[in-house]
Structure 1
Amino acid sequence: MTSLMLRRILLLCFFISGATGLVYEVVWARYLTVFIGGTAMAHTIVLATFMGGLALGNAWLGKWADRVTNKLLLYAFLEFGIGLVCLIFPEFFALLGKAYISMAAGSTPGSISLTLLKTVLAILAILPPCVLMGGTLPVLTKAIVGQLSKVGTRIGLIYAINTAGALAGIFLAGFVLLEQFGLSMSIRISAAANIVLGLVFYLLSRTHSDGAADADSDEDSDDAAFEYSAREIRWTVAIAALSGMFTMILEVVWIRLVAVVMGSSTYSFSIMLLGFIGGLCFGGALVSVIMRRDRDAVPILVAVLSGLAAVLVLIIPFYEQLPYFFNILNSWFEDRESGFVLFLGGQVCFVMLLTLVPTTLIGMVLPLATRVATQRISVLGATVGSVFSINTIGTLIGAALGGLVLIPNLGLDVTYRVVACGNALMAFLLWTMVGRPRTNPHKLRATAGLALVVALLMLIPQWNKIVLTVGVFRNGPRRVAASYEEFKQFYSGRELLFYEDGKDDTITVIRMPNGQTDLVVNAKSDATDGADMMTQRLIGQVGMILRPHSRDVLVVGLGSGVSVNSVLTHPVDSVDVVEISESVVRASDYFKHVNNNALGDPRVTLHVADAKEVLKLNPDKKWDLVVSQPTNPWIVGVGSLFAEEYWRDIQTHMVDDGLLVQWVQNYEMNDPLQEIIFQSFGEVFPHASVLEVDNEDMALIGSMKPIKIDANAIKERIALPKVAAELNDANAKFQVAGIAAFLAMEVVSDGLFWARFPGV
């Protein structure tokens, strides 16, 4: 077999390996939310563990790549190791879950001790395979690159192939595997692929014992056209770390922006990653072409960073216009049922237009920095491992800094400008400190360029927050404006009362032209003080009316606080309210006129945490009534609150004859999904009921024992002054006569009964 044929086989295998790596990352994130939770801190722990493992593998196994003679055999062992560890992951994870429950019981969500426990368990769960994954890149690089002059072009090609594989992995995980096979089978399919790859590399290692796929391999050769000083290498490696940090901050900002513009669905998240990693792939491929003839990488790197800063600055005014352009895209695919695949394709193109140029430039940074850092082919594995590990550590810091510090304190707009300024500063430092020639005129021009970028960042107006969060992804193309100015004018009657880019989401409170106040989460209205008051109050009232003797209540999801207040109109002893978003808690202050300052009631205890985590940390806690009111199940991370596992957790925290009232949005949901929700609910609760509020909302009511309809108790309860006042409130469009529907409920097959309120 020729070295060219061997190299092509190795690159194909590396493509597949990159795909499995992204599948693992997606699947692990889903698994770890079971005990890590769904908060921003939890996501950071998962990402830090993943990135930290890759960095450790880059650095440690990169050195081994230089020492081992048969690189292909070493790579085979890495793939075998990844496959075997991941093959048993579901069973190992089940053991970790049990250990977490026993060790974390009674802990306070967000406490330092609990965070440390989560981190340790995450490390135990995924660090070993991540370390092995991190070693694949330097080992393969050592096998493929045999000459110093080929480092730039080959590293660019390897990076492009691996990111192309990651691109395929995102597509497979986001659109195929998880939907068709679920978590455990998806990870086992990927593990099987790694084991097959290990077998292929093992067979190749027997016929190519030197492990080299470069016919001109010569570790003693020094044929590079350019050599770099220790100072140049140090600065370039530092730039690689900073670039990783700013890149990850930018990715977090873009993910949050896409959630606001396109909706925070799992599809939107996958599409954003497709666009981002697609650009990185193009960038690596471009370096592979540019560096076919060994060139001075430093000025190219300076040009790339300068161009990136310029592009990021120039497109700032475009961001607030994204809803306008997305509305146009919506109008092209009004018939979503017949053209859903085309609509998703249109979304991919939409995101690519936003991210392609910047991410292509970003994708060029790491291969170019690696070329500068590589001075001897004999230590190529260690060099590649070091540069990539430092860059990975930078991305780890960027994820934590962007998601937990910058965005919550500065907002998306300012954080984005910090990234643009950071890239300009990197170009300035690289050119003035190590650029050729380092003369005063060049330094003066670099200083002027940096000053221009800073001035533009300060002068360009901030994004119009009202327009940015109008949520055209839900409202659809009512009409397509002829221009952005016309589009903006359409929403000019709205008043922004509150805006906050929190750790997890973007929260706004908007006063509409008709006087209605809306609580908007990621551009989706989740509660109002007008149109949906009936639903909010009913969700809080129905459980208390059906089970009048309830004393201890759990409410999952604060929203506007109206449902919590509805519970408080009854003589309860305690109400535990769980809300994952601190920003929603602050926004609820703007609804005190309808929630009667519910959080100020001494019977209320607020838990700002993930509901699933609260349940697991309090295994002995029992409630008489649980009211669960998450937002729509299509939103990323929310689907687990409509799952059988979640309802089983709730059931174990209910008294024997306790009730669960689960709000289900009937809109934006197809029949198969509704059937799955009903079936899962019925699997947990043998006595399940459906209460249809209107054409858009319904409440699932579940109990382990038959629900007894006590007409006299219900009449007494609805006669309580506060309850009667709320049910007769004209703003709620709900009359006490509607309670008659409860008295007329008839149980049908499988313990399911259906009630519909008259007149709605």
Structure 2
Amino acid sequence: MAKKSTSALQSRLFWLASLLFFTSGGTGLAYQVVWFKRFSHVWGSSSLAFAAVGGSFLFGLGLGAYLLGRRADRAAMPLRWYGVCELLIGVIALIIPFQIAALVDASVSLFAALPEQPFLRYLMQFAITLLVVGPPCILMGGTLPLLIRQLTARDGSLDQATGWLYAINTFGAAAGCYLAGFHLLPSLGLLWTNNLAAMINIAIGGISLMAANSAERLTVGRAQKKETPAERQPLAVWSPKLAALYLATALAGCGALILEMTWTRQLAVVLGGSTYAYSATLFVVLLGIASGSLIFHAYLRGVASRPALPMAVVGLVVFGTLAGMLLLPTLTLSVAPEDVRDMRAGQLGNGMVCVLTSAAMELLPAIGMGILFPLFVHLTHASAANVGSAVGNIYAWNTLGSIIGAGLTAVLLFPLLGTSGTAALACAMYVVALLAVIPWRGAGNLGRVAVAAAAGAAAVAVVARPIDPRLTNMGLYIYGGAEKYRESPDEALALIQPLMFEEGASCSVFVDRRFPNRLELRVNGKTDATDGVGVATQAGSAYFPRMFKPDAKEVLVIGFGSGCTPGRALEFPDTRVTCWELEPAVYAAADYFSHVNSRPQDQTKAALLARNAELPADERLTPAEIDEQARFQIVFGDGRTAVQGSSQKYDLIISIPSNPWMAGCSNLLTREYFRSAREHLTEGGVLAQWIQAHDFMKRDYMMIVRTMKSEFPYYGVIELAGGGDTMLLASTEPLVPDREALAKLQETVDNTPTVKADLESWFGGSDLRWLLLSNYALGKDQLDRLLEADGSGELNTDLDLKLEFDAPLHLFRDMKPDEMASSILRRDPRSAWTRSLARSLGLQPDTPEFYVTLGDHALRQAVNFKSATLLPSPFYLDKARRCYAQALELDPDHTLAQRGLEGVRLRQAQKPRGDEKTLRALLELNPHDAVVHAELAGLLQLKKQRAEAIQHYREALRLEPELAVDTRTYTWANNLAWLLATSPEADNRDGEEAVRWAELACQVAGETDLEVMDTLAIALAENGQFDKAIDVSERLLDAASDRPSLVEDVKSHIKLYEASRPYREG
């Protein structure tokens, strides 16, 4: 009877402990998510900071498993120790938010103490983080060996509880990851999610202590049993087999962390870099590990000693990884259809898409990882009496490998090997781990070793093959367009010319040229900059804030992008610009945008020193002169820490990070960040914060405005890029331009040809008064009324991060026009704000001439927008229409207003490339429109009406003589050269003129535009300069190795030139 009662109590204890351990696994993962996010407010979101925080977390877990594993084997009641650990974890977790807040408050002194050298900085960040999270992590790490010891009979099997408890705890961790990442954090925020987890831990601790008292009889019973000599024998500290096993364990831990980080990077490209994508990746990894451990417990314990088992498991990891890599392009296409994107507008649908996509890539190898942990414990061949030490040792070595993996992957492996090479290295580690644990002696064993090594090497070689970024890094999850890839993949790829692809420490950077010649900078697949209309946003981010602080000398730019913002800021005399950029690969792409970014990289101290070294000794600059001329400094790190941890104050802080829905970017839109920005501005300084207005909810936008209002008394909105982008301005002084200071700035603009031309090209004019009147969309009073109408009181804070969780869902929502952020920009030209601003600028509103001028300005912006996008901007056209209509209301017979309104009507009816009738009507209305001349010429060229096409190209270039890439005028010159050189009709050909235009086009576009080089070679041949044509063509062949169709064409052209024959169009 007593035996039956003991058995029943033992069974209840087993299931109770399992339930408690499942729950504590969930709280442990919740802490990891919460503390990682909070430490990003201390150290930033850089890869180095992530490695420091992750490493300290893992170090604590491993140390706890090692130390408490030994204690577990000597404890009479390990369950009581487990209860104490859980109680302490909960209590400490309640204190940690205050510790992290203190670190945030001490940022300035803290960052001043950090070393410049990255490794020393990492060590210091690691040490400080460990002081905070180390104690609870040590206790968490010790809970596994303590409970395994409790539930394993001393005369039982080593595998009795290991696989089960590891599985049940990891299932709990997966549940905690999902609940925290998808539900608790969005609804409760960081603080209350942390506190909820802490209270659960305290409850677990209390229940465990009560259960330990009830289980005392079992322990007494066991204590009375005489231990055998084998049971008294402590676990061997070292032996060749154990050394090999521990090496294998560390390699597996390192490989697992490397693969997890690789999958996170790759799935951020496939799904978008939102916090939900990261949560889904971690959830699936944990689910796979838990499933693998459960499979071991249920089915594999009996065959755990057979060499075939580790071979099969490592094979599952390696070949599962290979299958996921091969699936990556397919997964990219699978999330692109519109119905899939619609699903992601809801919490449940988004979670399903993210989880299923992640599972397709990583579930199989994660299952293999889960089998390996209890398998490695089994291979220690320890007695059941030493199970705590055995588990603690394996856990510690596994964690040591994970720490190395976390430290090396983002900082070193991604930049050196890319994600494919990094994944291949992880697979190689698993193969080496396998070779370390399977027996070698004997002919049969050697055969198995050879097969394992050969199969592993083959798989590693395939995994290492890089994937064409045109298949994965095109942002199909947000832009769609998968149909093109499915229907005609070769044609879709042919439209994209890869120029640079670099997988950096923080993200993947892809520079490509899209038809018709648009240059794009993609970060994790999403377009972050272009040399088209994106220039208006980045250039405007430098120009407009300065109009409110014309004498600005010290400028901080957060986010390098294409380099246009720091480049434009440096155009003004005596301005020094410091730019913080998270990813060095983004800065490395700057040379591709040299034609639009004013080359800020040439004004760094390093660039000046390099050029200075090449000068003759008597012409070299002195160190003082170099310091004076080095007006640009690039710093690689997190933008939040740039403001928070700096002791310097700035006249302008221009923040242009990536989109607010991306994980980490919302850290630059919280109340705490705005407070830091305010504290680091000089008197009258201006914070300029870029915020998208396209694909962004008005509600989310107004929350950002409300959050900024909580720290700044004055604020306003600048509209950019056809209403698709905005700059939210904030200051401690009224944001009303000083007329005298603005007049001085106007003199600077008028005397700086590059700035003047830039403003005219992108913003329709260089008169700063009219620029402000056209683009300063909303002032403080207007925003206050919008906030009042919005009715919400929500703020985006460090502890709530509402934007980080709401914006990714709204991104996929089918928004109504009045729900979009861009709706706040549509203002009446007669509004009190417009008239008040006009008077403050010295302009007289309420006259027909005023509204006609305002309409003309908007119409020019529409035309300039069109030159970059092939379509007139509906936003600017609508603005022009309303201005002309207001002028006609004041004077119905105003000729210029009538003409302007007719121009708007024709352009609103225009389609891409236009139709001939509309284009000719537009020229009748305004024969001086260079863009329309060029469009008509292009249309006539397609219709083979070459003579008239030549006339219109010549007229377009006469009206717009300044060739530029951003406005596409260089393509007009290229097309004219082509017609003059290749026309079958002799009367149309003029080799000398063709060479002149082709050389100008090449000079502007550089040799990155291969078609322009080909045109130059063809023009040279038409002009009889065949040797030069061959030379240009051979240079072209060297640059066009990845474009086989172009290579074939050029080779055929060279044969003509060698025969002294020019090329003719068929």
Q: What band does the TM-score fall into relative to the shorter chain?
A: over 0.9
Compute the displacement of 1:462 (Å): 3.0
Report how many residues are paired. 747
CA contact (8 A) 1:256 1:505 kept: yes
**5+ long unaligned stretches in structure 2:** 1-7, 604-629, 787-823, 827-856, 860-875, 877-1066
- Residue 668 of structure 2, aligned match among 631, 641, 644: 641
TM-aligned CA distance change 1:347 to 1:734, over 3 Å: farther
Residue by residue over 1:510-541, the C-alpha shift from the partner in whole angstroms, topping out at 9 and shown as x without a partner, is 11121111111110110000122211111110
1:282 aligns with 2:286: no
Which digits, 9 at most, give the CA deviation of each residue in 1:478-528, with x for residues without a partner? 453684x73464233211111111111111111112111111111011000
Deviation at 1:103, TM superposition (A): 4.2
For 1:605, the equivalent position in structure 2 comes to 633
Aligned partner of 1:238 in structure 2 is: 247
1:104 shift after superposition: 3.2
Of residues 686, 691, 697 in structure 2, which corresponds to 1:664? 691
Aligned residue number for residue 264 of structure 1? 273
The 2-side partners of 1:381 and 1:423 are apart by 25
Alignment pair present for 1:594 and 2:601:
no
More divergent stretch after superposition (392-401 vs 714-723): 714-723
Greater RCO, 1 or 2 (C-alpha within 8 Å, sep 6+): 1
Q: Which residue is equivalent to 1:419? A: 426
- Structure 2 counterpart of 1:12: 19
**Structure 1 residues 153-232: aligned runs within 5 Å:** 153-209=160-216, 220=227, 231-232=240-241
SS in 2 for 1:675: helix
Q: Does structure 1 residue 310 correspond to structure 2 residue 319?
A: yes
Letter in 2 for 1:467: L
Q: How far did residue 355 of structure 1 move?
A: 1.2
What residue is the counterpart of 2:627 in the other structure? none
Is contact 2:24-2:201 (8 Å) kept? yes
The equivalent of 2:508 in structure 1 is 506
Contact 2:568 2:598 in 1 (8 A): no
Show the counterpart of 1:739: 772
Pairs within 5 Å for 1:368-387: 368-387=375-394
Q: Greater CA radius of gyration, 1 or 2? A: 2
Question: Using the alignment, how far apart are the partners of 1:217 and 1:199 within structure 2?
Answer: 28
Distance 1:313 1:69, change over 3 A: same
Q: Deviations along 1:646-667, whole A, 9 cap, x unmatched?
A: 1111110101211111100123
Q: What corresponds to 1:707 in structure 2?
A: 735
| Partner residue, 1:547 | 549
Q: 1:148 to 1:387 in 2, by over 3 A?
A: farther
Q: Residue in 2 aligned with 1:696?
A: 724
Q: CA deviation at 1:114?
A: 4.1
Residues 423/742 of structure 1: CA separation in 2 closer, same or farther (3 Å cut): closer
Structure 2: how far apart are the matches of 1:294 and 1:255? 34
- Asked if 2 retains the 8 angstrom alpha-carbon contact of 1:54 and 1:130, the reply is yes
- Is 1:748 matched up with 2:785? no
1:398 is displaced (CA, Å) by: 1.2
Matched, 1:462 2:471: no
Give the AA of the match of 2:163: G
The SS at the match of 1:152 is: coil
Q: 1:496 to 1:216 in 2, by over 3 A?
A: farther
Q: Does 1:21 align with 2:53?
A: no
Give me the whole-angstrom Cα distance separating, in 1, the residues matched to 2:175 and 2:424. Answer: 31
Does structure 2 retain, via aligned residues, the 8 Å contact 1:578–1:606?
yes
8 Å Cα contact 2:155/2:384 also seen in 1: yes
8 Å CA contact 1:313, 1:453 repeated in 2: no
Relative distance call for 1:217 and 1:79 in structure 2 (3 A) is farther
Deviation at 1:263, TM superposition (A): 0.7
Q: Is the 8 A contact 1:96 1:121 kept in 2?
A: no
Q: Secondary structure at the match of 1:503?
A: coil
1:248 to 251, 254, 257: 257
1:442 maps to 445
Q: Does the 8 Å CA contact 2:318/2:459 hold for their aligned counterparts?
A: no
Residue 84 of structure 1: how far off its partner (Å): 0.8
User: Is the CA contact 2:431–2:456 (under 8 Å) kept in the aligned structure 1?
Assistant: yes
Alignment of 1:711-722 (within 5 A): 711-718=739-746, 719-720=749-750, 721=752, 722=754
**Cα deviation, residue 235, structure 1:** 2.5
1:624 is matched by which residue type in structure 2? Answer: D
Moved more, 272-281 or 452-461: 452-461
Which of 289, 313, 328 is 1:319 aligned to?
328
Distance 1:714 1:320, change over 3 A: same
Q: Is the 8 A contact 2:269 2:472 kept in 1?
A: yes
Residues 149, 668 of structure 1: alpha-carbon distance in 2 compared, 3 angstrom cutoff: farther
In 2, Cα distance between the equivalents of 1:217 and 1:290?
Answer: 33
Looking at structure 2, the residues matched to 214 and 365 of structure 1 have their Cα atoms a distance apart, in angstroms, of: 34
Assess if the C-alpha contact under 8 Å between 1:557 and 1:628 holds in 2.
yes
TM-score, length of structure 1 as denominator length: 0.92
**Mapping 1:564-575, distance limit 5 Å:** 564-575=566-577
The whole-number CA distance in structure 1 between the counterparts of 2:660 and 2:50 is 19
SS of residue in 1 equivalent to 2:516:
coil
Tell me which amino acid in the other structure corresponds to 1:507.
V
- The alpha-carbon distance between structure 1 residues 371 and 654, as it changes in their structure 2 partners (threshold 3 A), is same
CA drift at 1:344: 2.4
**Matching of residue 351 in structure 1 with residue 378 in structure 2:** no
Inter-CA distance 747–344: structure 2 relative to 1 (3 Å threshold): closer
Q: Is the 8 A contact 2:86 2:201 kept in 1?
A: yes
Choose from 475, 485, 505 the match for 1:471: 475
RMSD: 2.8
Alpha-carbon distance between aligned partners in 1 of 2:415 and 2:224, rounded to the nearest angstrom: 51
Alignment of 1:109-148 (within 5 A): 114-146=121-153
Q: Say if 1:106 and 1:618, in contact at 8 Å, map to a contact too.
A: no
Query: Is 1:652 aligned with 2:679?
Result: yes
CA separation in 2, counterparts of 1:446 and 1:746? 73
Taking the aligned partners of 2:700 and 2:425, their CA distance within structure 1 comes to 42
Q: Name the aligned partner's letter for residue 386 of structure 2.
A: V
Alignment-derived partner of residue 576 in structure 1: 578
Match status 1:94 vs 2:101: yes
Q: Which has the higher mean CA deviation after the structures are superposed, 126-135 or 545-554?
A: 545-554
Counterpart contact for 2:717–2:777, Cα < 8 Å? no
Which amino acid is 1:450 matched to?
Answer: A
SS of structure 1 residue aligned to 2:216: coil
In 2, Cα distance between the equivalents of 1:702 and 1:108? 33
Is residue 276–residue 359 contact of structure 1 (8 Å, CA) maintained in 2?
yes
SS at match of 2:729: strand
Shift of 1:121: 1.6
Report the Cα offset of residue 614 of structure 1: 2.4
- 2-side partners of 1:204 and 1:182: how far apart? 33
Aligned position for 1:727? 759
Q: How far 1:364 sits from its partner (Å)?
A: 0.2
- Quick one: structure 1 residues 100 and 603, their matched pair in 2 at CA, closer, same or farther if it must change by over 3 Å? closer
Q: How far apart are residue 82 of structure 1 and its match?
A: 0.4
Amino acid at match of 1:607: V
> What code does the residue aligned with 1:700 have?
L
- Matches of 1:115 and 1:74 in 2, distance apart? 34
Q: 1:627 aligns with which of 654, 658, 675?
A: 654
Q: Identify the residue that residue 997 of structure 2 maps to in structure 1.
A: none
Amino acid at match of 2:681: M
8 A Cα contact 1:624 1:654, kept in partner: yes
**What is the Cα deviation at residue 347 of structure 1?**
2.4
1:615 has 2:643 as partner: yes
Q: Which amino acid aligns with 1:202?
A: L
Tell me if the contact between 2:553 and 2:574 (Cα under 8 Å) persists in the aligned partners: yes
